[in-house]
Amino acid sequence: MNYSIDELREGALKALENISANDALANWRSQYLGRRGALGKLFGTIGRLPQAQRAGFGQQVNALQQELDAAYAQREQLIQSQLLARDLEEGEIDISLPARPQGRGGLHPSTRTHREFQTIWADMGFQVYHSRDVEADEFNFTLLNLPPHHPARDMQDTFYTTNSNVLLRTHTSPGQIRAMREFGAGGTKPIRVILPGMCYRQEQVTARSEIQFTQVEGLAIGRNIRMSDLKGTIAEFARRMYKPKAKVRFRASYFPFTEPSMEVDVECFLCGGAGCRVCKYTGWLEIAGSGMVHPTVLRNGGYDPSVWSGFAFGMGPERITMLKHGIQDIRYFWGNDLRFLQQF
Amino acid sequence: MLVPVSWLKDYVDIDIPVELLAERLTVAGLEVAHIRYIGLPQEPAPGVLMPRSEHLVWDREKLLLGRIVEVKSHPQADRLVLAMVDYGAPELEQCVTGATNLFGYKDQGEITPPIWSAFAMEGARVWDGHSAKPRQMTLKGKELRGIFNKSMVCSEKELGISDEHEGVIVMDHDERYVAGAPLADVLGDVVLDIELTPNLARCFSMIGVAREIAAILDGDMRYPSFDFVAEGPAIEGQVAIEIREPELNPRFTLTLLRDTRVKPSPFWMQRRLKLIGQRPRNNIVDVTNYITFELGQPLHAFDYDKLVERAGGAPTIITRLPDAGEDLKTLDDVRRDLGAETILVADTAGALSLGGVIGGGETEISEATRNVLVEAASWNNIGIRKTIKEQRVHTEASARFSRGVHPSQALLGCKRGIELMRRLGGGQAAQGLLDDYPLPPPTVTVELPVARVKRLLGMDVSLEQAADVLRRLEFDVTTDGDMLRATAPDHRLDISADPAVGQADLLEEIARIIGYDQIPETIMADEMPPQRENTAVFIEERIRDILVGQGLYEVISYRFTSRESEARLAPDGAPSPLPDAEYIEIANPAASERNVLRQTLMSNMLESAVNNARYQSSQRLFEVGKVYLGRGDLLPDEPLRLGILLTGARGRTWWQEGAIESDMDFYDMKGIVENMLAGLHIEDYRLERGTHGSYHPGRSAGLYIGRERIGAFGEIHPQVAARFKLTEAKVIYGELQVAPLIQRHQRLHTITPLPTTPAVLEDIALIVSADLPAGEVEAVIRQAGGRLLRDVTLFDVYSGDPIPAGKKSLAYSLTYQDENCTLTDKNAAKIRRKIIGAARHRLQAELRS
Ligand SMILES: [Zn+2]
């Protein structure tokens, strides 16, 4: 019988060594370790042995079972790791094949810039106010200190409607008057708003000029608003929008609805102020027109200019978007060409 | 405006580099757009960047002031001569030249006085005078028809002054310079191109700019003399003035110069005019131009004898409005019909010139003119603007008068002009001048407490500092305690008499001259206005985000279109789908296809789809934008609309088999719209079969929220699609009003707790009439299933064998769940029976086994 146990061990272990697949392993297991397997049969013979041999034989069979169990577990682990290795090796795909198309979608670049603006201004307490596109001449010009025949009316090529006193706003500034009258409570309440929107100019459409463009106007009215606040606020905006610690320059300029008026230049964010083609080698980019609200405009908004003061500014999101992305042709903005829109 | 620095230096000392001057002017509001260098090197100041100039820098050793003392003939060439040049060296230099303006001196012996010109030695760099394209070259010695030559006398082109290459430069003798002086010192210059904003009318001249520089640099102004030598008889009796419209012509002055000679101006005058882009004509006309640019006061010169001839005696100059039907032929050879608002300078025989704009041809200065009547007048700037608009004529005079020239300048211009003319042309000026000044502008004095300066600028400015700045700008300033009283100088019209506006005017001057860079940057300390919730903006942006999240691209179209373009949206015989509103029509459209404002986004979005179709197999677009609905005399309604457009393949071409999907259709649009409504938590919406004419009637729907129809979507009507040439693929479009979406969105919504009990799933298939809308079947199922029916998903629609004709099978998977307890099979079977019963009873449905 000893011979039989040794033979069985040898045969079983040898067979196990050649097994490399799960199903063969399962077969081996039932052949040797299953209820009706070889080992089972050996256990079955115990009862038939003489009493004296039973314990010894039983121990031998038990030892064999433990040995085969261990060998099985080891083999199983080996096969699993081999299979895993094969699987990892054979499961390789060509990662250079094109991706399965996923719909992406995107906001218009102008909207993206407007959102950036609105976020920054909202942090400084400026809320969005939407004003109308089709305006009365009075709001677009006269109430903004541009009476009929004012020389500065020449600066703006206006689209008029067939109703002689109605035009397409040439700037978002008429919204200043509307915001003051709506929120100023008869010139008794402070205001901080930004006025984004589409504006219109009767111009030749070229790579540089368009008949419609968006603007963002800002207006702050209070009892103690100073020109230094205008500088501080716009500089803060510029640094958040373009570059922390960017240099900001304020130049005297002229807008009929502000006095003093100024243009705001920010250090060119393309060359870091060292001079490049885009900033025309000056190191500066013009980003805003601004100034202290003209006393006449304050009055027209219902405020007493001897008590109240304010500042206003205007910016062109398209121009800024063009600078940021190297867009050479302003006509891309309303051309709705997906090849352009998909690049944002 | 072009401003030569050499000219400015007549009036003010400039002791800083021009590049820094340009920067200071720019920051002070006189934007220097360009700097032109003539012979001088560009020397950027520290911290001031500017484009590199590619001009020719004149070598101080090799480009010199020379005197041509004799011109000899070339022994072998008729078209060349030998100029003998004294350039300060012991020996004369012989230059071979083809300069035609020297031929007249050929073999005439010594020229007295000698001709002062520009002399270039061997090795000097100059522009190639013979090259059509700008090309620099270095002067080298070589034989020219047998005579060795290594230097030359230069033309303006060779020095980069102008394109003039006909002859060599011929200068006046300037006593400050001797032969051999570096040419850069004599003719070198820098010309600033300054862009003047409308408020800077007072700077529209050399003296105007010089004044600003004097204020900025705290220097002194040197005004030219306004005295004139008058040796002729008194002007009274020789001419008279009659102003009929003082509002339009507040001042008119005249002087008379007799026995003068009309001839070319001297070199210095011609040079200055050329530097500022003016063409020299003759000494009289050149002086009128010169004064226009020097002082900003345009002058006009008449041939006095022609006036006498017209009047048959001493003329009377009348300024008046035109008579009906009157016309005038102006200097530019245009015969002009004169509108009612054009102010004229006339005499008793008729119109002479458009006052302040352009002279008439008949009385202009010619070579034969001997007696010159000089006009310096003031014109109302609005009147001039009307004339410009009516006559479409722009001159240097009208450019200045239309912005405003203070009447005080007329007298100065008249005096300075007559004296310059006398010096250049000889003759005797009449004694005295005629000065009719019916309407002087009021003197403006502004009171400004210095505390207000601090308060509005946010900067500590002392009374003395503020007063000093204003005095530098020639204000007459007195102070009284904290109060500053400033009277505007008589060259300014831009200081307002309104106290608040006048203060702002002064504040700007104080801030500008002290420098905006000196004002600190502060954070607003003022009261913060109440912050309001801005739902409209929030929801508008939310809509954009939801649509982008579904793979749509935002477009922004022109808000312009034409009636014809939008009329295409109605198929033949169908009523217009557009709102019942007037169009906003543009009086001066950019193009006829953009002559009204849109009433729908549809037309422009379909256009966008056509344009994109050339490059895209699939398009998913949306636009959020206004449409414009006229309301008679009221300003139009400008409601916001949402347009969505889908066309082409649902997916893009891909390499795996079967990956190319079919074209997008109605159900893609429905999914996008429903997702958007879900994102806004709008639940009480429904669809009704479409009645909007632009869509396929069987494949479109109207969207209702509550009772309100807020728009429609569906497949574009084939006829409409064909008109837009969108025939390649179906176009699915939808347009919704945005306001109801904003109004109806659920700001707060409650979520359903996540159930912890298991759900029971089962499928049922119902056979119903083929024309029964699936929505009705689902509604019946949901109603019958009640609270415990959690979800209904239609997973198959089938008709054909073995389903009887006229019927279809709808297969649903149903989810039953009770959040309070586990549903038993018995409960589930009960719900199922209720559903099947309701379907049988209400829909005549059969259960498909
Ligand atoms: Zn740059």
Tens digit of each residue's pLDDT (9 = 90 or more) over A72-118:
999 999 999 988 888 888 888 889 998 888 889 999 999 999 999 99
Instruction: Please check whether residue B558 touches A, CB under 8 A.
Output: yes
Joined tokens for residue B224? 């030219």
Contact assignment for B458 to A107 by CB distance below 8 Å: no
Instruction: Please check whether residue A233 touches B, CB under 8 A.
Output: yes
Residues A317 and A171 in one domain: yes
Pick from A97, A102, A260: CB nearest B655? A97
Non-local (6+) Cβ contacts of B27 within 8 A are: A249, A250, A251, A252, B515, B516, B517
Are A319 and A110 a contacting pair, CB within 8 Å?
A: no
Residue A90 to chain B, least CA–CA distance (Å): 20
Q: Which residues, numbered 785 to 824 in chain B, qualify as contacts with chain A under a Cβ-Cβ cut-off of 8 Å?
A: none
Instruction: Please check whether residue A160 touches B, CB under 8 A.
Output: yes
Enumerate the residues of chain A whose CB falls inside 8 A of the CB of residue B534: 127-128
Q: Report whether pLDDT(B659) > 60.
A: no
Instruction: Please check whether residue A169 touches B, CB under 8 A.
Output: no
- Assign B130 a pLDDT band (cuts: 50, 70, 90): confident
- The reply to whether A248 falls in a domain is yes
- Tell me how far the alpha carbon of residue A247 lies from the centroid of ligand 1, in angstroms: 13
Residue A176 to chain B, least CA–CA distance (Å): 15
Kindly report the CATH number assigned to the domain that includes residue A171: 3.30.930.10
- Tell me how far the alpha carbon of residue B224 lies from the centroid of ligand 1, in angstroms: 43
Residues in chain B, total:
849
Predicted structure pTM score: 0.89
What pLDDT, on a 0 to 100 scale, did the predictor assign at position A303?
98
What pLDDT, on a 0 to 100 scale, did the predictor assign at position B669?
97
Residue B381 to chain A, least CA–CA distance (Å): 9
What pLDDT, on a 0 to 100 scale, did the predictor assign at position B531?
83
Joined tokens for residue B844? 């005549």
Cα–Cα distance list, B437 to B243, B379, B494 (Å): 9, 12, 20
Contact assignment for A162 to B457 by CB distance below 8 Å: no
CATH of domain B63-187: 2.40.50.140
Question: CATH fold of B2-55+190-217, please?
Answer: Phenylalanyl-tRNA Synthetase; Chain B, domain 1 (3.30.56)
Question: CATH fold of B240-436, please?
Answer: Phenylalanyl-tRNA Synthetase; Chain B, domain 3 (3.50.40)
Enumerate the residues of chain B whose CB falls inside 8 A of the CB of residue A236: 521, 523
Residue A328 to chain B, least CA–CA distance (Å): 18
Q: Where in chain B is the domain with CATH 3.30.56.10?
A: 2-55+190-217, 445-517
**Among B509, B454, B501, B500, CA closest to B477:** B509
Q: Considering Cα of A124, then A130, then A134, then A138, what sign does the dihedral take?
A: negative
What are the tens digits of pLDDT across the range B322-358? 999 999 999 999 999 998 889 999 999 999 999 999 9
Residues A135 and A43 in one domain: no
How much is the average pLDDT of B421-441? 96
Enumerate the residues of chain A whose CB falls inside 8 A of the CB of residue B455: 224, 226, 309
Query: SS3 letters for B9-54?
Result: CCCCCCCCCHHHHHHHHHHCCCEEEEEEEEECCCCCCCCCCCCCCC
Residue B126: helix, strand or coil by DSSP? strand
Joined tokens for residue B596? 């009204």
How much is the average pLDDT of B164-177? 90
Residues A158 and A285 in one domain: yes
What pLDDT, on a 0 to 100 scale, did the predictor assign at position B533?
82
How many domains does the structure of chain A reveal? 2
B718 φ, ψ (degrees, to nearest 5): -55, -35
- Tell me how far the alpha carbon of residue A267 lies from the centroid of ligand 1, in angstroms: 8
What pLDDT, on a 0 to 100 scale, did the predictor assign at position B452?
95
Nearest residue of chain B to residue A296 (CA atoms): B501
- The reply to whether A96 falls in a domain is no
Enumerate the residues of chain A whose CB falls inside 8 A of the CB of residue B447: none
Instruction: Give the strand pairing for B618-626 and B640-648.
Output: antiparallel
Q: Which residues, numbered 718 to 747 in chain B, qualify as contacts with chain A under a Cβ-Cβ cut-off of 8 Å?
A: none
Instruction: Please check whether residue A132 touches B, CB under 8 A.
Output: yes
Residues A74 and A126 in one domain: no
Q: What whole-number distance in Å separates Cα of residue B431 and Cα of residue B415?
A: 11
* Superfamily classification of domain B535-744: Bira Bifunctional Protein; Domain 2 (3.30.930.10)
Instruction: Please check whether residue B621 touches A, CB under 8 A.
Output: yes
Pick from A108, A127, A294: CB nearest B504? A294
Contact assignment for A192 to B621 by CB distance below 8 Å: no
CATH of domain B445-517: 3.30.56.10
How much is the average pLDDT of B423-450? 96
Which of A29, A57, A88 marks a domain boundary?
A88
Q: What whole-number distance in Å separates Cα of residue B109 and Cα of residue A196?
A: 78
Contact assignment for A222 to B498 by CB distance below 8 Å: no
Mutation target to probe the B interface, by most B beta carbons within 10 A, among A209, A338, A342 is A338
Residues A81 and A229 in one domain: no
Contact assignment for B659 to A100 by CB distance below 8 Å: yes
How much is the average pLDDT of B650-674? 85
Question: CATH fold of B760-847, please?
Answer: Alpha-Beta Plaits (3.30.70)
* DSSP class of B59: P
What pLDDT, on a 0 to 100 scale, did the predictor assign at position A1?
46
Contact assignment for A212 to B500 by CB distance below 8 Å: no
- The reply to whether A100 falls in a domain is no
- The reply to whether A103 falls in a domain is no
Q: Which residues, numbered 378 to 417 in chain B, qualify as contacts with chain A under a Cβ-Cβ cut-off of 8 Å?
A: 381-382, 385-386, 402-404
CB pairs under 8 A between A and B: 270
Which of A55, A88, A121 marks a domain boundary?
A88
- The reply to whether A102 falls in a domain is no
The burial class, CB within 10 Å (0-12 / 13-18 / 19+), for A104 is exposed
Residues A116 and A77 in one domain: no
Residue A327 to chain B, least CA–CA distance (Å): 17
- Tell me how far the alpha carbon of residue B638 lies from the centroid of ligand 1, in angstroms: 40
- Tell me how far the alpha carbon of residue A275 lies from the centroid of ligand 1, in angstroms: 4
Nearest residue of chain A to residue B511 (CA atoms): A260
Residue B43 to chain A, least CA–CA distance (Å): 14
What are the tens digits of pLDDT across the range A286-335? 999 999 999 999 999 999 999 999 999 999 999 999 988 999 999 999 99
Residue A53 to chain B, least CA–CA distance (Å): 59
- Tell me how far the alpha carbon of residue B53 lies from the centroid of ligand 1, in angstroms: 17
What pLDDT, on a 0 to 100 scale, did the predictor assign at position A2?
53
Contact assignment for A161 to B537 by CB distance below 8 Å: no
Nearest residue of chain A to residue B26 (CA atoms): A251
- Domain span at residue A61 reads 2-88
Joined tokens for residue B63? 């480009």
Pick from B29, B549, B654: CB nearest A254? B29
Percentage of chain B modeled with pLDDT above 70: 100
Instruction: Please check whether residue B488 touches A, CB under 8 A.
Output: no
- The reply to whether A180 falls in a domain is yes
Torsion angle of the four alpha carbons A5, A8, A9, A12, in this order, in degrees rounded to the nearest 10: -160
Q: What's the mean pLDDT when you consider all of chain B?
A: 94
Residue B703: helix, strand or coil by DSSP? strand
- Tell me how far the alpha carbon of residue A276 lies from the centroid of ligand 1, in angstroms: 4
How much is the average pLDDT of B546-562? 97
What are the tens digits of pLDDT across the range B1-59? 999 999 999 999 999 999 999 999 999 999 999 999 999 999 887 878 888 898 999 99
Low-confidence ranges of chain A (pLDDT < 70): 1-3, 155-156
ipTM: 0.90
Residues A194 and A314 in one domain: yes
Instruction: Please check whether residue A262 touches B, CB under 8 A.
Output: yes
Spacing of C-alpha A64 from chain mean position: 67
Are A9 and A66 a contacting pair, CB within 8 Å?
A: no
Residues A201 and A307 in one domain: yes
Percentage of chain B modeled with pLDDT above 90: 87
How much is the average pLDDT of B507-529? 94
Q: What whole-number distance in Å separates Cα of residue A287 and Cα of residue A251?
A: 12
Instruction: Please check whether residue B521 touches A, CB under 8 A.
Output: yes
Nearest residue of chain B to residue A234 (CA atoms): B521
Which of A29, A53, A88 marks a domain boundary?
A88
Contact assignment for B521 to A253 by CB distance below 8 Å: no
